[in-house]
Structure 1
Amino acid sequence: MSTTTHTAAQSPTQHTAAGRPSLRSLLLAGAAATAVASVATATVAAAGHAAGISLDVSGAPIPVPGFATLTAVFSLVGLVLAAVLRRFAARPRRVFVRTTVALTALSLVPDVIADAAPSTKALLMLTHLVAAAIVIPAIARRLSA
């Protein structure tokens, strides 16, 4: 049986002595994913608005930069959750993915019941799913299975 040793140059993530990906790797990947997701959700909202979809909820418009801001805030909350799970959970990746998928599903509920046009509700839900599709895998890859 042969044993292969991976160096930092060979591995996409740096690992601690305990074999877990480093906290630094987690934080950098999470910050990058947060930035990408923030731009993506603002882009989706702007494209929807340009296509004629209203961004009004309860008669008040949601500004396009607001999509980026809220994406960043909640993505950073997810990153904090990942850091805590990395430290305390026996299987942090599994717990993180299950928790964040459930939270993403719950985040769609206010969109469904919002006082908004059906197309607006669909656009809001799409932005949640876009953010989750970017952030969850990027952070989960940096957690131990």
Structure 2
Amino acid sequence: MTTTTVQVPAIRSLLLAGVAAAAVASVATTAVAAAGHAAGISLDMAGEPIPVLGFAMLTAVFSLIGLGIAALLRRFARHPRVAFVRVTVALTALSLVPDAIADAATSTKALLMLTHLIAAAIVIPVVARRLSA
């Protein structure tokens, strides 16, 4: 008699936790952007306003892309947790570059960068915990 291990619960756990973290991160980045705007920080970039709800949408999209990366690394990487953390920390650092060189006020740039770091601080640990070392 042979037994096979079904990994459906593990991938389900990864996906559910990742989607939940994406939702929390989306709310958090939107709240930070709204609070910054209420405190007087401009959300204008190159003369065009960034809609506050745009923070939620982009956070969700890029968090879900990160979740896709996690699923691929879970399947193909020898050490998916380590690989995921390295890749996502590098991508988070790279995501700061466009904000740093944007045509926007320094306070706007700082607020944009802060939202990237908040999203990463929420999503990366949650997803990483669901990956084997």
Scaled by the length of structure 1, the TM-score of the pair is 0.86
Q: Which has the larger radius of gyration?
A: 1
User: Deviation of residue 17 (structure 1)?
Assistant: 3.2
CA contact (8 A) 1:104 1:129 kept: yes
Structure 1 residue runs without a partner (length 5+): 1-15
| Percent identity of equivalent pairs | 78
CA contact (8 A) 1:82 1:92 kept: yes
4+ residue segments displaced more than 3 Å = 16-21
Q: Distance in 1 between matches of 2:9 and 2:94?
A: 29
Q: Secondary structure at the match of 1:52?
A: coil
Partner of 1:57: 45
Root-mean-square deviation (Å): 1.6
Q: Deviations over 1:78-132 (max 9, x none)?
A: 0000000000000000000000000000000000000000000000000000000
Task: Return the structure number with greater helix share.
Answer: 2
Partner of 1:129: 117
Q: How does 1:31-46 map to 2 (within 5 A)?
A: 31-46=19-34
Partner of 1:110: 98
Q: Distance in 1 between matches of 2:40 and 2:92?
A: 26
1:83 to 71, 80, 103: 71
Amino acid aligned to 1:39: V
2:56 to 51, 56, 68: 68
Partner of 1:12: none
Structure 2 residue runs without a partner (length 5+): none
Scaled by the length of structure 2, the TM-score of the pair is 0.94
Paired residues in the alignment total 130
CA contact (8 A) 1:20 1:144 kept: no
